[in-house]
Amino acid sequence: MKRWAIGVGAVLILAAAGAGAYYYYFAKDAEATSEGAAALTAAATRGSIVKQISGTGAVAANTRETVTAGKSGTIAAVNVKVGDQVKAGQILVTFEAADDYDDQIESIEDNIDRLKEEIEGYQQSYKEATGTENEEAAKQDLQKKMEDAESDIADYEEDLQDIYEKQSEEEKAVTATIDGEVTEMDIEPGDEVQANTTIASIVDYTRLEFVTSVDELDIPSVKVGQAVDITLGAITDRTIGAAVSEIAREGSASNGSSSFEVSILLKDIEGVKAGMSGEAAITIESKEDIVLVPVNAVVAIGNRSFVRVPSAEGGTTGAAAGSGAPPGGRRGGAGGTAPDGGGFPGGEAPSGEAPAGGAQGGGTAPVMGGAAPAGDASTGTGRQAAAEGTAPEGASAAGGDGAQADGTGGEAPAGEGAAAAGGEAGAAAGGRGNMADRLASRIDTLGGELVEVTTGLSDENFVEIVSGLSEGDSVLVPIAQGTPGMGSGTEEQQTQIRGTFPGGGAIGVFPSGGGGGGMGGGNFQRSGGMP
């Protein structure tokens, strides 16, 4: 019994410490920001939004070809020089003819001429054989000789045709493969070349591209054909239109991450030179004629989005009124009953202000990691607070059902206390809900009322509002301010509220086991207990 009493005492001490830390880091900031201007009013406007990925790079020629000889031989003539503009198919150099083919052709032609002369002699003898004693036999013999000679001529002519075909199949000249400018050529007439000898280099400067690298996390959003705006350091009077033409299939790794080369074809090349450096902005998504608000006006709570609008009673444009709670108060009220009795009622919260010192209890089981008091309204926001933690051996954290009730009269119940043995999931969920509830209360200190919206496309300046606001509606945009020694300041708190809690993400998503005394998302850096 004595050991149990010591345990309860330790829990109460931790709970008090947690409440003190919460007040110091959140309530003090609320008091500081309420002393001066906390927000400015902006109107939802209709316009367009463009989402882009940017990267640096340089201009390069899109088409570049190296022309080789393709065969061994001797260069007979060179028809172009460096700087000349050439067309595809234009002859660059020619080769000297092969001697063996010339000799073969000459020999065959001589044989054909000889056979033709023999046929003429046979024809003359055939005429002279008429009227002779052996006329018939002589004519038959001459006829056969003429036929044989003609057959030989046909064979020679066939051989000659084969040689001509072989000559035509062999490259007598090297031609340009693309349109462009000759940038390199070191061949002269009489040079002996091999098949892989470079004859010339040709570059098409009419097709220029910008080459940049895109991080592996962004490359899935890049597609061929997407519009790109190119800004070159050497050309300051205009932005050059372009489009993605090629995406590398393999990336290059550096410092634990990979990047992929992206080629972008320029549409306007006036004044552009290969080698110029600049920046490319690839448009991955865009929308026009949509409702927009400043990005700082949108607050994420869990998977929901909200904006603050001036209150119906006039609101606070540029200053937080009192605690920031709407008239009628938010979530003050009784704090429940401690196991030994001694519950401390929090009272009602008139006109948006909650009395200091909410209920001290709210559950019967000690909470690991420190328990925040359920029903605590000491933040000055008029919003009910609740415990967040892990209850050992079946006991649940304080802050059960009803902890998030929004009483318009200024009073809300603090919950039912501890869950039954075994730790019901509802109790834990209630604790998490109350954690988000307290942080949402922190938002209220900046003035106005929260309105839920559905968001769409966004960039670093604006967010698309799909539903929840109309064009012309006013929203409150927080401005940076704070009092030295009073906490983190409005701008930093807004950043934290929007989702920079270590390990937790947006409001309502916290590190597992984080209790009231060790919230992983506020100014504490550890979860599950006091630092």
**216 found inside a domain:** yes
Distance CA 491, CA 135 (A): 129
Maximum alpha-carbon separation in the chain? 161
Q: Is the pLDDT of residue 168 over 90?
A: no
**Same domain? 410 vs 516:** yes
Q: Which of 78, 60, 56, 61 is nearest to 69 (CA)?
A: 78
**469 found inside a domain:** no
* Distance set, CA 264 to CA 217, 221, 225, 233, 238 (Å): 19, 15, 9, 17, 17
pLDDT digit string, tens, across residues 367-384: 333 333 334 433 333 333
Most confident range, picked from 3-12, 124-133, 498-507: 124-133
Q: Looking at 102-106, 219-223, 452-456, 512-516, which range is the least confident one?
A: 512-516
Last residue of a domain, one of 289, 312, 337: 289
Note whether 396 and 363 are within 8 A (CB). Answer: yes
**Same domain? 339 vs 406:** yes
DSSP state of 368: B
> How does the average pLDDT of the chain come out, rounded?
70
Phi, psi at residue 68, to the nearest 5°? -110, 165
**345 found inside a domain:** yes
For helices 99-128 and 135-169, give the axis angle rounded to 10 degrees.
Answer: 160
**508 found inside a domain:** yes
**Same domain? 435 vs 488:** yes
Q: Which two tokens stand for residue 247?
A: 């995406």
Confidence category of residue 314, pLDDT binned at 50, 70, 90: low
**Same domain? 221 vs 337:** no
Distance CA 314, CA 473 (A): 14
Last residue of a domain, one of 169, 194, 210: 169
**489 found inside a domain:** yes
**Same domain? 251 vs 326:** no
**461 found inside a domain:** no
Most confident range, picked from 195-209, 429-443, 498-512: 195-209
Measured over the CA atoms of residue 53, residue 249, residue 220 and residue 260, the dihedral's sign is negative
Note whether 448 and 308 are within 8 A (CB). Answer: yes
Distance CA 238, CA 232 (A): 9
**Same domain? 264 vs 156:** no
Note whether 204 and 63 are within 8 A (CB). Answer: yes
| Residue 486 structural domain | 321-445+480-521
Distance CA 116, CA 137 (A): 23
SS3 call for 509: coil
Please tell me the predicted confidence (pLDDT) of residue 131: 81
Q: Which two tokens stand for residue 460?
A: 């670093």
Q: How many structural domains is the chain composed of?
A: 3
Distance CA 348, CA 411 (A): 5
Phi, psi at residue 196, to the nearest 5°? -95, 10
**Same domain? 385 vs 432:** yes
Confidence category of residue 480, pLDDT binned at 50, 70, 90: low
Identity of residue 481: Q
Note whether 426 and 415 are within 8 A (CB). Answer: no
Residues 6 or more apart whose CB falls under 8 angstroms from that of 125 comprise: 138, 142
**Same domain? 132 vs 208:** no
Confidence category of residue 61, pLDDT binned at 50, 70, 90: very high
What is the mean pLDDT of the segment spanning 352-372? 37
Q: What is the CATH number of the domain that holds 262?
A: 2.40.30.170
**414 found inside a domain:** yes
Q: Is the pLDDT of residue 411 over 60?
A: no
Distance CA 183, CA 200 (A): 7
Q: Which two tokens stand for residue 411?
A: 């009073």
Which H or E run contains 92? strand 91-95
pLDDT digit string, tens, across residues 68-86: 998 888 999 999 999 999 9
Last residue of a domain, one of 151, 169, 187: 169
**Same domain? 256 vs 136:** no
Q: Which of 49, 95, 100 is nearest to 76 (CA)?
A: 95
Q: Is the pLDDT of residue 528 over 70?
A: no
DSSP letters along 121-166, please? Answer: HHHHHHHHTTTSTTHHHHHHHHHHHHHHHHHHHHHHHHHHHHHHHH
**Same domain? 435 vs 327:** yes
**Same domain? 387 vs 250:** no
Please tell me the predicted confidence (pLDDT) of residue 241: 96
Please tell me the predicted confidence (pLDDT) of residue 132: 82
Please tell me the predicted confidence (pLDDT) of residue 463: 95
Distance CA 230, CA 270 (A): 13
Q: Which residue has the higher pLDDT, 473 or 317?
A: 473
Most confident range, picked from 6-10, 159-163, 272-276, 505-509: 272-276
Q: Which of 93, 97, 98 is nearest to 187 (CA)?
A: 93
Q: Is the pLDDT of residue 357 over 90?
A: no
CB atoms within 10 A of CB 393: 9
| β-strands 227-232, 73-78 pairing | unpaired
**227 found inside a domain:** yes
Q: Looking at 54-63, 125-134, 278-287, 432-441, which range is the least confident one?
A: 432-441
Spatial strand order in the sheet of 91-95: 173-175, 91-95, 73-78, 192-193
* Distance set, CA 96 to CA 70, 102, 168, 190, 261 (Å): 14, 11, 13, 9, 45
Confidence category of residue 171, pLDDT binned at 50, 70, 90: low
Q: Is the pLDDT of residue 331 over 80?
A: no
Please tell me the predicted confidence (pLDDT) of residue 440: 56
Distance CA 86, CA 70 (A): 19
**Same domain? 503 vs 378:** yes
